[in-house]
Amino acid sequence: MSDFCLISVPLDKTSLTSVEKLKRSIKKTHMASCWRFTIPDLKVSVARRGWDFSFHFSENLMNYVTKFQWDKSKYPTALPLSTLADIINKLGQPEVSKTSGFIASSACLLMFSAVFSGNLQTRSLNGIVSKDDLVVSEYLTTLLVVVSRGSYLQWERSYESFSVFVVPRSSRKLTEDREGAIFAVTLFKRAVCDFKAKALQSKFVVREYSFDVEEKKQLEIVKLSVQKKEQHGILVRWLKVNLTQLFMAWIHLKALRVFVESVLRYGLPVNYQAFLLETDRKRSKKLKEELNSLFVHLDPTASTKDVSYDIPGLCQQDYSSYICFHISTSVLEISEKPDT
């Protein structure tokens, strides 16, 4: 896997000599590939600001970045940097309607799905309890009681004593996990409150259960699953259609950041050159050492400074004598994984 970085150096005599040395070195050692990264003179009017973009790469898009040319029709260079950044930022943000539906459906589905996990005191009993397990008539009802594993014998010996209106020998174990089991017991409706109170005193938990309510929950989950799939499809289609435009905007944003950092570091008038470097990940450390050696004159104390700073959308940057943005390719690794 390759690593990419954008570097910027001033066009003084010493730096130009170092650039030529770098080109000869990477040509000889095949340590990296190098392209000139042309950025027009932009209107200097703002200080630093943060941006956050991440994209999947493809061969065509990488060809675009290695042959980058500023699109003056979309991003007029006469505009202030803050205006250019706002224009690019808007292009890089997916429409709210494309994401809000998917996020809302996912959140609701996650909430409902959580009901089907957990222990027997909290999880849904849909698929565990059937209508045949429930005795419901004008006078009789069925309660579901959670009993811990160590209390089965106590339950069998005591449940009939919780009320004189409990149907004898009506206890039936419906399901069991590592912690305990759920027992169904039949009794007269008039004794439900007394039974619950006595059960609680013996540390047995009576579950509230309605077959109709559980069935509605299951239908809601199916409905939400369909909605999530539909919203996901809408979002993916939108991204596929707009990916190229988004990527182009992202690269212009990177160029804008190089320009701003170069002006802040090297000063005015604007006089610098940017390069895009691609190297095998195994050789990135060696390339960095070569760059540090060639451009140490820009700030001889850089190697002794324990300084780092964050660039949103990129990995954390180590301070160096020259401007260098390391572009993470982790998204490429994710996008290349086969669908399962």
Q: Which of 86, 5, 98, 23 is nearest to 49 (CA)?
A: 86
Residue 140 and residue 164 in contact, taking contact as beta carbons nearer than 8 Å: no
Q: Is pLDDT above 50 for 176?
A: yes
> What percent of the chain has pLDDT above 90?
29
Task: Say which DSSP state 11 is in.
Answer: -
| Mean pLDDT of the region 57-67 | 71
| Mean pLDDT of the region 217-234 | 79
Give residue-wise pLDDT tens across range 273-329: 999 998 887 888 888 889 999 999 898 887 655 544 444 443 445 678 899 887 665
What integer pLDDT is reported at residue 171 of this predicted model?
A: 93
Instruction: Let me know how many helices (H) and strands (E) the chain has, helices first.
Output: 9, 10
What integer pLDDT is reported at residue 275 of this predicted model?
A: 92
pTM over 0.85: no
What integer pLDDT is reported at residue 70 of this predicted model?
A: 92
Greater model confidence, 250 or 165: 165
Q: Is pLDDT above 90 for 154?
A: yes
Residue 249 and residue 61 in contact, taking contact as beta carbons nearer than 8 Å: no
304, burial (CB in 10 Å: exposed 0-12, middle 13-18, buried 19+):
exposed
The helix, strand and coil proportions of the chain, stated in percent and rounded to the nearest 5, come to: 50, 20, 30
Pairing of strands 2-10, 323-327: antiparallel
In which order are the strands placed within the sheet that holds 33-37? 33-37, 272-280, 2-10, 323-327
> pLDDT band at residue 194, thresholds of 50, 70 and 90?
very high
> pLDDT band at residue 20, thresholds of 50, 70 and 90?
very high
Average pLDDT, the chain: 79
What integer pLDDT is reported at residue 53 of this predicted model?
A: 37
Q: Is pLDDT above 60 for 132?
A: yes
